[in-house]
Amino acid sequence: MVYTIIRIVVIAACCTLSGVRAMHMLQAGRYQTAELKRELRRYTDLLMWTDIAIAAGATAINWYMPVLFSMFMQQSEPREVLCNWLMLALFSGAAVFAFFQKRRIPIKKEFNVSQRMVRLIVVVFLLDALGATLLYLLTLSPYLVFIGCDYAVLLAAYIVAPLENRINARYYRTARKKLLEHRGLIRIGITGSYGKTETKLILKTLLSEKYRVLATPPSFSSAMGASRVINEQLNDRHEVFIAELGAQRKGEIREIARVIRPKYGILTCIGPAHLDSFGSLEAVAQAKYELIQSLPKTGAAFFGSDGGFGDRLYALCPMQEKYRAAVGGEGESYMRAEHVETGVKGTRMELICQNGECAWVQTKLLGSYAARDIALAAAVAHKLGLTMDEIKSGVEKIRPILGHLQLAPGEINVIDDSLNELPEVAAEALRILSEFPGRRIVVTAGLMEVEKGAADANYQLGLQIAEAADYVILIGPEQTRQVLQGINKGGDFPGSSIRAVRDPADAAALLREMAEPGDTVLYEGIRPEEEEEAEE
């Protein structure tokens, strides 16, 4: 009886360990069960077949091990004890193997063992223990419960949802009450398909020239994230609160807006970054526009010009106060970035306001996307009373976001775009690289997080690399196959300039051999190995 209980506990613990990656997926998708179901379908080959193989193998070994051991152990009781404990040890080792196998699934957000995650882990463990117990009572192998260890996470998410919703509602009420008591606080919401985090940090830097500003940190783009920041950090000294609003389903931005009640709304752009969640650009645009629809009549809406849905939404917006920011081009813009120049010192541009005021600014950020985000933040800052001189001073203080077109100049210039997952931004990174002097080297493992049209996106990446770079280091021959095809199709890119390696460590070793002073290295979608070692 004691062994039976221990076995059930160990099996449940092993299943829970193997389900950690599914928990990480759920957390990265802001605990949306629809997102987890989509991810489980996406990685069925790695997740499901690993679990099936381990469950079937454990069942078979558990069945045949006593038969094998009976060949040299005559006494049944010690033989049974040995087989039982040896089986648990083997199963535990297999669960650890599954845990590390599943870590191959790329998730860029760090796993956070929050109170909510602890509650989920407890429920997952209880479900796994219940499943193992039922199998045992039905005289079936309890190891078969391992087949569903990832789907136990999905079931647990459904079970705890009502409790979590009640907990969240309490946080929301507290946050709304605190905001209402903070009279005079300027509340700003930012959303968009991409660029919202960068725009938020730029705007915080600019407004800090005149105001005391509190902004939500990266990855705090949900209603719960905003509520936590308000409840834990907002105080009477703050004059401005900036919140980033993310969405993976219709109505989510409206839900966040009900908590923060922004007076000023910023829509950076509309693009294909969330097509997997919404299905079409029209649906993405409608979801993001919920922020503008949530603004009061006395509020103001700011739009980044993107040549597409962003400009259409600006034209359709019925608000009396609406403003647009753009990089060059034609049409009405409250703030425009002109004469954008990118080089080893960053980006230089002229900001021109609709009222005729202008200022030349220098920033460490790179490219036209950064220029648009700066123009958009400058438009908001100017409407909130900052002079062009104050905006210029703020722009010079902007720091790049880690892993997003982050420039580290030196004998060998490094452009770190390792945390990018968007084909459009990769294309911009390669355009920027082409403007740098000296030899240009790209290190990439491909665009691993693109869901729809991944093969075509990586093929296009290869074509762009052939146009912009002199050398390329491809990490992982299998996952960069389409990239290589695009490079070879791209024209006269010599085969001797293409190097293929197995992992980032090999890429770092090869780069140390081939890079020379004056070269520029672009890390696209893969982190610099030296940076990883330094963090460890």
d(CA 417, CA 406): 6
**What are the tens digits of pLDDT across the range 429-482?**
999 999 898 999 999 988 877 666 788 989 999 999 999 999 999 998 888 899
Give the pLDDT confidence score for residue 375 in this predicted structure: 96
User: Among residues 418, 30, 25, 23, which one has the least CA distance to residue 221?
Assistant: 30
Q: Domain check: are 27 and 141 in the same one?
A: yes
Q: How far is CA 185 from CA 238, 242, 387, 523, in A?
A: 7, 10, 20, 41
Please indicate, yes or no, if residue 343 is contained in any of the structural domains.
Answer: no
Give the pLDDT confidence score for residue 535 in this predicted structure: 41
Higher-pLDDT residue of 299, 43: 299
Q: How far is CA 178 from CA 83, 101, 166, 229, 386, in A?
A: 61, 45, 19, 11, 27
Q: How far is CA 169 from CA 107, 119, 295, in A?
A: 28, 17, 21
20: amino acid identity, one letter: V
118: amino acid identity, one letter: V
d(CA 4, CA 103): 31
Q: Domain check: are 17 and 141 in the same one?
A: yes
d(CA 536, CA 534): 5
Q: Tell me how long the chain is.
A: 536
Give the pLDDT confidence score for residue 519 in this predicted structure: 94
**What are the tens digits of pLDDT across the range 168-191?**
999 999 999 999 999 899 999 999
Residues 317/290, Cβ–Cβ less than 8 Å? no
d(CA 282, CA 314): 14
Q: Domain check: are 217 and 76 in the same one?
A: no
Q: If you average pLDDT over residues 388-409, what whole number do you get? A: 92
Give the pLDDT confidence score for residue 274 in this predicted structure: 66
Give the pLDDT confidence score for residue 245 in this predicted structure: 93
* Other C-beta atoms lying within 10 Å of the C-beta of residue 137: 9
Joined together, the tokens standing for residue 315 give 């034209």
Phi, psi of 347 (to 5 degrees): -125, 135
SS3 assignment, position 407: strand
Q: Domain check: are 275 and 330 in the same one?
A: yes
CATH number for 440: 3.90.190.20
d(CA 193, CA 22): 25
Where residue 44 falls among pLDDT bands split at 50, 70, 90?
confident
**What are the tens digits of pLDDT across the range 98-132?**
999 998 887 877 898 989 999 999 999 999 999 99
Please indicate, yes or no, if residue 351 is contained in any of the structural domains.
Answer: no
Please indicate, yes or no, if residue 94 is contained in any of the structural domains.
Answer: yes
Residues 474/444, Cβ–Cβ less than 8 Å? yes
Give the pLDDT confidence score for residue 104 in this predicted structure: 83
Give the pLDDT confidence score for residue 526 in this predicted structure: 82
Q: Domain check: are 217 and 238 in the same one?
A: yes
CATH number for 206: 3.40.1190.10
Joined together, the tokens standing for residue 371 give 């220029």
Query: Exposed (0-12), middle (13-18) or buried (19+): which is 1, by Cβ within 10 Å?
Result: exposed
Phi, psi of 270 (to 5 degrees): -120, 125
Question: What DSSP state is assigned to residue 218?
Answer: T
Q: Domain check: are 144 and 8 in the same one?
A: yes
Looking at 59-73, 200-214, 521-535, which range is the least confident one? Answer: 521-535
Give the pLDDT confidence score for residue 476 in this predicted structure: 87
Q: Domain check: are 384 and 421 in the same one?
A: no
d(CA 385, CA 383): 5
Residues 176/168, Cβ–Cβ less than 8 Å? no
Q: Mean of the per-residue pLDDT values for the chain?
A: 90
Which of 342, 377, 396 marks a domain boundary?
Answer: 396
Looking at 213-227, 378-392, 517-531, which range is the least confident one? Answer: 517-531
pLDDT at 533 over 60: no
Q: Domain check: are 392 and 490 in the same one?
A: no
Please indicate, yes or no, if residue 169 is contained in any of the structural domains.
Answer: no
Q: Domain check: are 9 and 134 in the same one?
A: yes
Please indicate, yes or no, if residue 361 is contained in any of the structural domains.
Answer: no
Q: Domain check: are 78 and 21 in the same one?
A: yes
pLDDT at 244 over 70: yes
Please indicate, yes or no, if residue 8 is contained in any of the structural domains.
Answer: yes
For the chain, what is the domain count? 3
Please indicate, yes or no, if residue 357 is contained in any of the structural domains.
Answer: no
Q: If you average pLDDT over residues 273-297, what whole number do you get? A: 86
Q: What angle do CA 461, 532, 468 make, to 5 degrees?
A: 25
Q: If you average pLDDT over residues 388-406, what whole number do you get? A: 93
Give the pLDDT confidence score for residue 67 in this predicted structure: 74
Counting DSSP H helices and E strands in the chain, the numbers are 20, 15
- Residue 95's contacts (CB-CB under 8 Å, 6 or more residues apart) are 14, 15, 17, 18, 54, 146
Q: Domain check: are 103 and 143 in the same one?
A: yes
**What are the tens digits of pLDDT across the range 64-81?**
887 777 777 767 777 787
Q: If you average pLDDT over residues 288-317, what whole number do you get? A: 93
Where residue 331 falls among pLDDT bands split at 50, 70, 90?
confident
Please indicate, yes or no, if residue 114 is contained in any of the structural domains.
Answer: yes
d(CA 370, CA 489): 30
Give the pLDDT confidence score for residue 530 in this predicted structure: 52
Where residue 275 falls among pLDDT bands split at 50, 70, 90?
low
Where residue 529 falls among pLDDT bands split at 50, 70, 90?
low
Question: What DSSP state is assigned to residue 492?
Answer: S
User: Tokens 């001073």 appear where?
Assistant: 393
What is the percentage of the chain residues whose pLDDT exceeds 90?
65
Parent domain of 459: 406-535
pLDDT at 387 over 80: yes
SS3 assignment, position 94: helix
Q: How far is CA 5 from CA 8, 129, 149, in A?
A: 5, 10, 19
Q: Domain check: are 142 and 190 in the same one?
A: no
